[in-house]
């Protein structure tokens, strides 16, 4: 595990600063609760530099604020910094997932198959909604499960597409798509934020269509996103979906630095 001084402090500050262009942050006890568009929600988080433990009453108040604003009730935090918060979140009726947190410590270039091309996505790309649909389908289809074999389709716009276009235009989201024989097959992004005079970026939403899995597209796309991010970012990190996914990233130069906890209202 890398011992870079202040690493978790930097990641906590990243999450505190990231919502500011898109949401008003309300303070509830030791929690920061971003209230913005339901089309691009941010979870509540413990405030950096806090002293003490987050109270159950504050979690419930934060959830009420979120749901009153049409946002999902959700919290996120670094498990290594708030060891008792998982129990508090569960007491508030949330389901907690613990995700491996990884740093791009010594990235290895991963080559994509020769027939696959990578493209940066522009804010005016007419296929942007198609890439969003691709990610939805990929995340909704577990590894090994069957999925539709036809091309990814969808309406002309999803509710969040206009927000995504604004973020891409402003440079707050950098999206890449992998294309095979003219069809998008994988997509991913990194999200740079200036934090205390340096840039930090999180790799998010790396997704591959089910029938194209097992070809190294996710690892190759992540490698390209990290290479792009590191042109200006001092620190690049991601939260892996589970231990198996984390091991894939570790083989291409990522190192575990902790645990990211996500708590959400259970689906009924």
243 or 252, greater pLDDT: 243
> Is the confidence at residue 260, as pLDDT, over 50?
yes
For residue 254, give both structure tokens.
């990522």
Specify the residue for token string 């949330």.
Answer: 94
Q: How far apart are CA 122 and CA 50, in angstroms?
A: 39
pLDDT reading at 216 higher than 70:
yes
pTM of the model: 0.92
Q: Please say if the pLDDT value at position 187 is more than 90.
A: yes
Does residue 145 or residue 263 have the better pLDDT? Answer: 263
Q: pLDDT tens digits for 71-115?
A: 999 999 999 999 899 999 999 999 999 999 999 998 888 889 999
The mean per-residue pLDDT over the stretch 243-267 comes to 93
pLDDT at 108 (0 to 100): 84
Q: Give yes or no for a contact between 266 and 128, defined as CB atoms under 8 angstroms apart.
A: no
Residue labelled with tokens 């906890």: 261
Q: Whole-angstrom Cα distance, residue 126 to residue 239? A: 29
Mean pLDDT of 190-194: 98
Question: What mean pLDDT comes out for the span 166-192?
Answer: 97
Tens-place pLDDT, residues 5-28: 699 999 999 999 999 999 999 999
Per cent of the chain over pLDDT 90 is: 83
Question: What residue ranges do the domains of the chain occupy?
Answer: 7-102, 116-252
Tell me what pLDDT residue 160 has: 87
Give dist(CA 192, CA 203) in Å, integer.
Answer: 9
Q: Is 156 a residue whose pLDDT tops 70?
A: no
Take residue 25 and report the two structure tokens written for it. 């942050």
By CB atoms closer than 10 A (0-12, 13-18, 19+), residue 87 is exposed
Give the helix/strand (H/E) hosting 67: helix 56-68
pLDDT at residue 145 greater than cutoff 50: no
pLDDT (mean) for 229-243: 96
pLDDT in tens, 38-84: 999 999 999 998 889 999 999 999 999 999 999 999 999 999 999 89
pLDDT category of residue 143 using cuts at 50, 70 and 90: low
Class for the domain spanning 116-252: alpha beta
The pLDDT value recorded for residue 109 is 84
Among residues of the chain, what percentage have pLDDT more than 70?
A: 91
What distance in Å separates the CA atoms of residue 204 and residue 226, rounded to the nearest whole number? 11
- For the ranges 79-83, 141-145, 191-195, 257-261, which has the lowest average pLDDT? 141-145
DSSP three-state, residue 9:
helix
**In the structure, what pLDDT confidence band is assigned to residue 159 with cuts at 50, 70 and 90?**
low
Q: What's the mean pLDDT when you consider all of the chain?
A: 92
pLDDT given at position 251: 87
pLDDT at 209: 95
């Amino acid at each position: 595990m890398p011992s870079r001084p202040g690493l978790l402090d930097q990641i906590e500050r990243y999450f505190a600063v990231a919502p500011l262009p898109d949401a008003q942050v309300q303070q509830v006890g030791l929690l920061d609760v971003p209230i913005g568009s339901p089309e691009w929600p941010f979870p509540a988080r413990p405030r950096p530099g806090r002293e003490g433990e987050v109270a159950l009453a504050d979690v419930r108040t934060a959830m009420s604020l979120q749901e009153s604003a049409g946002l999902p009730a959700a919290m996120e935090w670094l498990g290594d910094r708030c060891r008792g918060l998982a129990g508090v979140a569960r007491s508030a009726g949330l389901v907690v997932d613990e995700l491996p947190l990884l740093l791009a410590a010594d990235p290895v270039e991963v080559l994509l198959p020769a027939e696959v091309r990578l493209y940066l996505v522009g804010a005016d790309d007419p296929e942007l909604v198609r890439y969003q649909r691709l990610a939805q389908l990929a995340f909704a289809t577990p590894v090994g499960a069957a999925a539709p074999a036809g091309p990814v389709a969808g309406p002309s716009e999803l509710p969040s597409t206009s927000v995504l276009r604004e973020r891409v235009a402003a440079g707050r989201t950098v999206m890449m798509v992998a294309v095979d024989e003219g069809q998008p097959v994988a997509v991913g992004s990194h999200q740079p934020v200036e934090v205390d005079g340096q840039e930090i970026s999180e790799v998010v939403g790396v997704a591959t269509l089910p029938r194209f899995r097992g070809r190294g597209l996710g690892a190759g796309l992540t490698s390209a996103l990290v290479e792009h991010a590191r042109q200006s970012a001092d620190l690049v990190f991601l939260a892996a979906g589970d231990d198996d996914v984390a091991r894939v990233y570790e083989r291409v130069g990522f190192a575990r630095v902790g645990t990211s906890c996500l708590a959400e209202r259970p689906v009924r």
